[in-house]
Structure 1
Amino acid sequence: MALAVHFGAGKIGRGFIANLLHQTGYHVVFADVVQETIDKLKKEQQYTLFLIDHNYDEQLIDDVDAYSTINEADKVVDAIQEAEVVTTSVMATNLDKVAPLIAKGLKRRVGSHKPKITVMACENAMMGTNILVKAMLATGEITTDELNEVGVYPNTAVDRVVFDGHHHGKDGIEIGDAYELAIEKNKLADTNTQPIKNAEYVENLEMYLQRKIYMINCGHAISAYLGQANGYKTVQEVLKDPQLLEQVKTAMMESAGALEKKYGFEHTTLVTYMNKMFVKRMTTPGLSDPVERVGREPIRKLAANDRIIGPALQCEAYKLANDHLLHGAAYGFHFQNPDDQQAVEIQTSIEQNGIKKTVAKYTQQPVDSRIVAVISDDYEQISKG
């Protein structure tokens, strides 16, 4: 049986990526740092998923194994040497931590004349596999020529809601039907193959990454910023408020308008995408997204190339409406969290430098630009209540 090695045995790892690997027919070996999880997978060789959209019916994922990246590094390297696919779901910020082991495993394949292995970082990040490749090269374990000899490295776009769950007297992971795994088709060794079944193989991954970040992540963040200002504790409470839901959806559709212009998406498909991948999923029974968690790190989320200002700038370039996006950004500059260093930094800047200079600094826009003026004016209106 074909072998796949997956780094990260958390909810996304087991509930999403390994689930698809299992459906494809691989024997899946997890590599993780959490010994309790490793021991349980080793002992049981299987785990349970609960299907949210089907009354929490059970789906058994069997034929799995697991190794500790700390205590069994050699076994992880051996598995990579024999695998057809290596995937990750460890968070993009941790790719540099798993890169050395992956690089060692790939190095073992040099000169072996094995078919090229497919290596994919399945992270919530722009071009995550490129980040992983860069991290592997930085280890000094392997060269660019050696990487190219032994493998291919498609980027991915990933999106799925997963939760811890307990049903029918057992623990498992809850998953919704809706998900997205888009894979760069042109980077496969053979563009006619599908190393993971039930994924989408696309010619232009950037458009799918941007659709996800400029619509789903955008709506998520704006919901949090609107929610805190209106006294709500969770995104789900925000989306139950018809007025706020309409504001969020309008902002998302402003983003959609720019995506239609830039990439040729059909309007109706983006409306369906918003309702299925955001509204329906974010209102899943049992889901609770605290606004402080969703709105965290506002400097990153209000940057020029990120989820709110990024689509607002695209709308500006195409001369499309972006008032609701900029309104959401204004609420972002109101975001308060004393435990969030970025939130504290923004509030300190507003106190010391005023709102206009602060907006210009963190959105990387000229202080006399229309975008800075609109956000600053909105901020002042919000402050007045």
Structure 2
Amino acid sequence: MSCVIFGAGKIARGFVGHLLYLSGIDFTFVEKVDALCDLINTRGEYLVNILGAPEKNTIVKGAKALKFADGEAISEAIASADCVFTSVGGKNLPDIIPYLAAGIAHRTKINPKPLNIITCENWKKPADLLHDGIAAMLDPATLPFFESAVGVTEAVIMRSAIEATPDLLEKDPLVVNVQDFWKFPFDASRTKAPMPEGMIALEPISEFTGFLERKFYTYNAANGTASFVGALLGHKYIADAAYDERILKLLDGVYTETATALSKKHSFPFEEQWAFTRTSLKKLQDRAIVDYIERNARDPMRKLGPDDRLVGSARLCLEYGVIPENLAVAIACAIFYTQPTDEFAVALQTLRETEGVEAVIEKVCKLDPAGELGRLILQKIDLIRKWGWIA
């Protein structure tokens, strides 16, 4: 049994690779950064440090990686793999499509067995992006095999992977600090082959769209609230922000708004969704997860997008008759996020200071400043100014 993992970052090493290793399944990373490949191949192992549960720490042995320059070897690995995973970051998915297409074409010739490709990305519809991109690159002779025997599906990654401390990195530059979370939910409806036999933590989900929305509009909306409000109030760590009474009050409001909308949309009991929000809050408040606000708030222009964690959640609420009062406060705070080392935060600040907050609402959030949500956000900007959170 062997698998291929595109990407060798923290989630690839600290979640996908970790679970495969514990399941006794051989795997190979495919990584764009040559220096990281060299490090993996030289060291051959790395530590997965389970935050708050050191007795579960694991040294993953036998680690190996292929470089993007190793095109033939990558095709061979895909052709013989029992499963392929991706963990490259959503914006990098187009970079791996040619390798996947070449590997599938090679597979049809030497090992025409069904295969699953599972995306492990925090990105909108990553499986569709990969499927369509691969299909566009395949010749007419290979396309029928791809459509009938290759399942391109997606997983929800709910385990956080955090940058290790300098002292740990000095001992092992590949070490990954991860949350003590052991579920791997994936969209079972799109698979075309059996999942890797014996792989632990697998959780097949048949109604994946509802599950994905539930996670996104609960976990991501709360994370965005804690991150952007926390940044404005001077916090450095997510957990500290999540214990701030001012932010905690907002979080409870955000959870109530999203839980109400999700319960209406998917027809499950509010109490069940509220219990789900408690798992989100517990994660945010877990001080064992030393997670920086700066990391979570990175790229605020994307995170203020119309379908992303804050504006997307607020739009969902309005669609189901819920006024997103607390989400609008979080959006107002995000509009005023500043971080000089983040080029997207600098671009956001420049737009805000040169063209005004209405321009941010229109050009970044893609909302009408005079519309219902646009007006609500502007009201909340006035409110946080009154509170002294912004000048």
TM-score, structure 1 normalization: 0.87
Which SS does the other structure have where 2:321 is aligned? coil
Inter-partner Cα distance in structure 2 for 1:213 and 1:83: 31
Alignment of 1:125-140 (within 5 A): 125-139=123-137
What SS does structure 1 have at the residue aligned with 2:4?
strand
Change (3 A) 1:361 1:78: closer
2:200 pairs, out of 191, 197, 200, with 197
Segment drifting more, 6-15 vs 263-272: 263-272
Q: Does 1:289 align with 2:292?
A: yes
Q: CA deviation at 1:297?
A: 2.9
User: Residue 107 of structure 2 is aligned with which of 92, 95, 109?
Assistant: 109
How does the TM-score come out when normalised to structure 2?
Answer: 0.86
Q: Is the 8 A contact 1:9 1:31 kept in 2?
A: yes
Q: Is the 8 A contact 2:261 2:317 kept in 1?
A: yes
Shift of 1:381: 2.6
- 2:375 corresponds in structure 1 to 373
Q: Which whole-Å CA distance do the structure 2 matches of 1:201 and 1:325 have between them? A: 31
Shift of 1:12: 0.8
Partner SS, residue 157 of structure 1: coil
- Equivalent pair of 1:327/1:378 in contact (CA under 8 Å): yes
Partner of residue 236, structure 2 = 233
Q: Unaligned 5+ residue runs, structure 2?
A: none
State the partner residue of 1:207.
Answer: 210
Identify if the C-alpha distance between structure 1 residues 132 and 280 changes in structure 2 by more than 3 Å, giving closer, same or farther: same
Please list, as runs of the form range in 1=range in 2, the aligned pairs for 1:303-314 lying within 5 A after superposition: 303-314=305-316
For 2:259, the equivalent position in structure 1 comes to 256
Q: Give 1:155's aligned residue.
A: 154
More strand, by proportion: 1
Deviation at 1:329, TM superposition (A): 1.0
Partner of 2:224: 221
1:177 is displaced (CA, Å) by: 1.8
Report the Cα distance in structure 2 between the residues aligned to 1:276 and 1:170, rounded to whole angstroms.
33
Q: Map residues 238-249 of structure 1 onto 2, 5 A cutoff.
A: 238-249=241-252
1:28-47 equivalence runs, <5 A: 28-43=27-42, 45-47=44-46
Pairwise CA distance, 1:262: 1.1
Which of residues 350, 359, 366 is equivalent to 1:364?
366
2:89 counterpart residue number: 91
- Determine the C-alpha separation between the residues in 2 that align with 1:360 and 1:304: 10
For residue 327 of structure 1, the aligned residue among 329, 352, 376 is 329
**Corresponding residue for 2:68?**
69
1:356–1:373 contact (8 Å) kept in structure 2? no
Q: What is the CA–CA distance in structure 1 between the aligned matches of 2:97 and 2:279, rounded to whole Å?
A: 34
Q: What is the CA–CA distance in structure 1 between the aligned matches of 2:184 and 2:363, rounded to whole Å? A: 35
Q: 1:178 to 1:219 in 2, by over 3 A?
A: same
Alpha-carbon distance, 1:137 to partner: 3.6
Correspondence for 2:180 among 177, 180, 185: 177
Please tell me the residue identity of whatever aligns with 2:158.
D
Structure-1 residue corresponding to 2:119 = 121
Give the RMSD, CA atoms, in angstroms.
3.0
Contact 1:100 / 1:141 at 8 angstroms: preserved in 2? no
User: What code does the residue aligned with 1:80 have?
Assistant: I
Where does the alignment leave 5 or more consecutive residues of structure 1 unmatched? none
On the 8 A contact 1:130/1:155 being kept in 2, the answer is no
Preserved CA contact (<8 Å) 1:334 1:379: no
Deviation of 1:18 after TM superposition, in Å, equals 1.4
Match of 2:52 in 1: 53
Contact in 2 for aligned 1:161/1:179 (Cα 8 Å)? no
Displacement of 1:354 after TM fit? 4.5
Inter-CA distance 88–238: structure 2 relative to 1 (3 Å threshold): same
Query: Matches of 1:348 and 1:11 in 2, distance apart?
Result: 32
Letter in 1 for 2:60: I
Q: Deviation digits for residues 206-230 of structure 1, max 9, x if unmatched? A: 2222222212221222222212322
Count the aligned residue pairs: 382
Q: Sort the Cα spacing of 1:300 and 1:136 in 2 relative to 1 into closer, same or farther, 3 A.
A: same
> Post-superposition shift, 1:356?
4.1
Does the CA-based 8 Å contact 2:7-2:86 persist in structure 1?
Answer: yes
C-alpha contact (below 8 Å) 1:227/1:238 kept by paired residues = yes
Supply the AA of the counterpart residue of 1:322. Answer: P
Match of 1:4, as an amino acid?
A: C
Cα 1:141–1:93 change in 2 (3 A) is farther
Give the equivalent residue in structure 1 for 2:10: 11
Aligned equivalents of 1:126, 1:239: Cα separation in 2: 26
Give the Cα–Cα distance (whole angstroms) in 1 for the partners of residues 20 and 195 of structure 2.
18
Measure the CA separation in 2 of the matches of 1:355 and 1:192.
48
How far the C-alpha of 1:40 sits from its partner, in A, is 4.5
Instruction: Say which SS state the counterpart of residue 304 (structure 1) adopts.
Output: coil
Give 3-state SS (helix, strand or coil) of 1:303's partner.
Answer: coil
CA distance in structure 1 between the partners assigned to 2:63 and 2:149 by the alignment: 25
Distance 2:52 2:11 in 1: 17
